[in-house]
Amino acid sequence: MSDHADDIPESLPDAAKVEAVRSILDQLLESSRLYSKSKDYKELLDYVVKLRPFAPFNAMLLQVQNPGLSYAATAHDWQRRFKRTPKEGARPLLILWPFGPVALVFDQMDTEGDPLPEDAFAFPVLGDMTESSLSQFIGRLEKVCIHVQACDAGDRKAGYIRLAQPAKSDKEYAHYVLLMNRKHSPAVRFVTLAHELGHLFLGHLGLDAKLKIPERRGLGYAQQELEAESVAYIVCGRQGIKPKSETYLAGFMAQETTIGHLDIYQVMRAGGRVETLLGLAGHPSELNVKPMKSTRSGS
């Protein structure tokens, strides 16, 4: 990985460096055939759900570098929060960081110092969803022209999202309508919300320059649904809500088929975007991460 990272020109703008690193990591997943089996993919989703201190993509990246890791933080965070320091010769792990392009963190097993308290890594979750919380989420969506409406439907109909009005320019918001079944409980509607936003940010509805959504229309129905269900599984699971989509995913994983057609990078990216949009992205151990400065001299 480090050899490829050295190929990124220093002259690139910071944002372009981030995208370059993301592209390299995407190539790593593809060339190494990591998570090519459905069982491996399900385990990855479960791992991302458990590692809530990090954004979904960074959780995946940590799993690639150090399978089984349970917690990681920067050297600064280990010292400030837990009075611990990285062991001599400890191998740092890379995560992506805006305008970094990368930052360094350390596995808890590679640190030493004061004993860790039992609740050291406990983070609050929503658990039981409330109407009040849903209203707050809907308010946040309205600000970016995603209009949530209630509809009456049978129990097996949860909702859908559609493009209502295309943007007039790249600097303006397009308008979307997201329907949710009013007969469902707040928790089920939250799952619907995450699933339909997953479709949006996965690019299933098409390119949206303002929201930085890629063009990914034309995928098969099964692939679209599996990707969106994966996003819902991640977002909801990280809030302590167990969606019924787990049953759908489990059924697919039980087939033990390859999942090479899935774009895992886009799934993780979309999960992080949905969390950010809903105000759920205060990933504690990333708040104090500073990007790694380049040590390369000019040449």
For 229-286, the DSSP string reads HHHHHHHHHTTT---THHHHHHHHHTT--B-TTS-HHHHHHHHHHHHHHHT----GGG
Any bridge partners for residue 176, and if so which?
146, 163
Any bridge partners for residue 95, and if so which?
103
Strand, helix or coil for residue 12:
coil
| DSSP state for residue 168 in the 8-state scheme | S
**Could you tell me if 20 and 8 are in contact, meaning their C-beta atoms sit under 8 angstroms apart?**
yes
Give me the half-sphere count of Cα atoms (radius 13 Å) on the Cβ side of residue 248.
16
pLDDT tens for the 299 residues of the chain, in order:
333 333 434 444 455 555 665 566 666 556 555 565 667 788 888 888 888 888 898 888 888 888 878 888 889 989 998 999 999 999 999 887 766 677 889 998 899 999 887 766 655 555 678 899 999 999 999 999 999 999 888 777 889 999 999 999 989 999 999 999 998 889 889 999 999 999 999 999 999 999 999 999 998 888 888 899 999 999 999 988 887 666 666 665 555 445 556 788 889 999 999 999 999 876 555 545 554 454 443 43
Give me the half-sphere count of Cα atoms (radius 13 Å) on the Cβ side of residue 42.
17
pLDDT score at 30: 60
pTM above 0.75, yes or no: yes
pLDDT score at 290: 52
Strand, helix or coil for residue 189:
helix
> Using CA atoms, how far apart are residues 19 and 60, in angstroms rounded to an integer?
16
pLDDT score at 97: 75
